[in-house]
Amino acid sequence: MNSINIEKLKEIILENLENRTIEIKRVFHGRGNFYSDFEYLVVDSINDILMATFFEEVDVDTQKEIIKILDEVYATKGFKTLIIQRRYKKDNLYEIVRGKISENAVAYENGLKYALNFSNQNIGIFPDMKNGRSFIKEISKDKKVLNLFSYTCAFSVCAISGGALKVVNVDMAKNALTTGRTNHHLNNLEAKKVKFLPYDILKSWNRIKKEGPYDIIVIDPPSFQKGSFEAGKDYEKIIRRLNELAAFKCTILSCLNAPELDSDFIKNKFSERTFVLSSVTPYSCKISISNNNHERIELSSIDSIKSTLKTSIEEKYLIEFVSNMDMKNFILSDNISINKSINETTTIGKINFRDTTTNEMKSWGCITNKINNCSFHICRYEKNSKIYQYILYDKIISDEERKWIQ
């Protein structure tokens, strides 16, 4: 973190206001864990409005000093309105220091418009996510987009304006979704391409999944939403569901609005959901698969980690040994429940091995999953206190597809 004084604060704000336009812009971001002396403060430029938000109560003298330098910036840069928001208060959040607020105020960004409401704690758009919105607009052409914790659907506006085929917005706040509809109308965007689902995300996976799979998934949750979401304990619940929602080559924009957590928090949550390829040497064997429909498929020998397995009916399979795979991390179909320990994982199908050297039969517990029309079996087998784990794919897939599934 950097330590700065009040004059340096003014200097940073003025520097970020050089060549100011009417576009919304975050000109000071203390909440980003970058400035130790002003972690409680953010300052935004919104059209002709200069707005400062205090997230914590500070002593009266410090607050007066900050408002004084903001008043100087207001005059120097030609703003028409100066607003102070005190987020730590329960009511009377806003103080209009100079000027007035238009009833139909809008924010402008990259040629798009967003409705503003200065009577709410959040005004309708988050300026610090400008780069994220630009990114989504750039990559959305001909894509299906899922916008989780959509709020007023700014990401959806960007995606549709960027040529998205479809956007599904999910947020439990119906009023925010209503503003989201307004934002699409403000920009003359096709409403038939957009869905607004007023769901509690963590309790509505089936309904969200029905609209997929999605080429782009935006995860932009609040740091805390009473009765719905708490980043520290709930973020991983979303990550664990992504394989059910994502299309092949899906792009995920994962955001974090929790000043007490840093970007490593998200990186670590994603890395916990991966498993590592192992250089285990397979042995020659015969394999039969019996699934829930009691179908049996005979497979021939395994030559290497990436070897192709041919059946008598010329079907092809791919087998790959893996390590560091925790079975409890896998989400199964909704009609399947697991309430046992890792070593007692419910067997949905069973893969039987016959070692061609010893003629010994071996049964492996198996979880079957399906992504993009590729079924695969996640399996484990324990012998002599050593655990073997592998994935068996029901068809030959490219290395790119295989890595994506992993």
Q: What is the DSSP letter of 209?
A: H
- Per the CB < 8 A criterion, the answer to whether 389 and 398 are in contact is no
Structure-token pair, residue 306: 């990436």
What's the Rg (C-alpha) of the chain?
Answer: 27
| Model confidence at 15: pLDDT above 80 | yes
196-219 per-position pLDDT tens digit: 999 999 899 999 999 989 999 999
Residues above pLDDT 70, as percent of the chain: 65
CATH of 109-114+122-271, picked from 3.40.50.11810, 1.10.10.10, 3.40.50.150, 3.40.50.300, is 3.40.50.150
- Euclidean distance between CA atoms 28 and 16, whole angstroms: 8
Amino acid at 34: F
Coil, helix or strand at residue 144: strand
Peptide bond into 213 cis (omega under 30): yes
Does residue 397 come out as left (phi exceeding 0), alpha (psi in the -120 to 50 range) or beta? beta
User: Start-end ranges of CATH 3.40.50.150 in the chain?
Assistant: 109-114+122-271
281-291 per-position pLDDT tens digit: 232 333 333 33
132-180 per-position pLDDT tens digit: 999 999 999 999 999 999 999 999 999 999 999 999 999 999 999 999 9
H or E segment to which residue 358 belongs: none
User: Start-end ranges of CATH 3.30.750.80 in the chain?
Assistant: 6-101
Give the DSSP letter string of 274-336. Answer: --EE--PPP--EEEEEE-TT--EEEE----STT-EEEBTT--EEEEEEEES--GGG----TT-
- Per the CB < 8 A criterion, the answer to whether 375 and 384 are in contact is no
Say what the pLDDT of residue 388 is.
57
- Euclidean distance between CA atoms 94 and 98, whole angstroms: 12
Strand-pairing partners, residue 170, are 148, 197
Give the CATH class of 6-101. alpha beta
Peptide bond into 221 cis (omega under 30): no
Say what the pLDDT of residue 374 is.
67
- Per the CB < 8 A criterion, the answer to whether 366 and 379 are in contact is yes
Q: Is the CA virtual torsion 42, 47, 48, 49 positive or negative?
A: negative
**Start-to-end Cα distance in the chain:** 37
Q: Which residue has the tokens 């953010």?
A: 42
